[in-house]
Structure 1
Amino acid sequence: MADMKADIEVLDIYYYPDVIVTCDPRDREFQYFKRYPKLIIEVISPGTEGFDRGKKFEDYRHLDTLKEYVLIAQDRSSVECFRKNSEGLWVLYPYSSGQEIYLESLDFRCSINDIYEDVEFQVTT
């Protein structure tokens, strides 16, 4: 799905996440946007990181069906999974090189090394 919007109806705004996963049958009626995602993934850069962690995540939390929000760094081996627990609180699960990532919303596991396979990070001095 190219250019799929995450529509936050209660705020009357939308974003274009890098990955959006929905299993909700209500989303079948919408061709260009989804309102009921369970997982949203954003690939962050130094220029977008503040917005993705702050205002955008604040807005995404208005999506009642959202269970996980994942930030994947493009300049280092780092994946952060924010997962909504049974009390409705968002808990951070950080992952770094060599660890296995678990996406509970999909019951999916993979090595962080698989995500960054063939990626060469620039060394800054």
Structure 2
Amino acid sequence: MLGKARWDLANEILAPDIVMHHPSSPQPVAGVKNVVGFLGAFREGFPDMNMKVEFTFGEGEMVAVRWQMSGTHTAVLFGIPPSGKSVSVAGISLLRFSDGKVVEDWVSEDSLGLMQQIGVIPTTG
């Protein structure tokens, strides 16, 4: 959905009361509209975004997804002016399903690496 900006699929994939826990948000993001808005802000910052799923596995109601995001920072990202720099960021999403829809999503990603790649935080070494 995020990689191809298929927001029309949100109601098919996400439960109406979905809760997303993301390192870029101090509070959980709740509800389809808010989750789509939050993810849309990432997509806007990287219009050429590509999402690659590296592997998935699951047990019961839980599914883990290891992914790699790449793109070029050519638009404002959460108030950060475009840098024009290409990025590659790895992450893991832990998804909890109920009745065939995602009801909760815990995201862990290399936020520090992303900020270093777009030049907001200096690299070390």
How does the TM-score come out when normalised to structure 2? 0.26
Structure with the largest fraction of strand: 2
With a CA cutoff of 8 Å and minimum separation of 6, indicate the structure with the bigger relative contact order. 2
Structure with the largest fraction of helix: 2
How does the TM-score come out when normalised to structure 1? 0.26
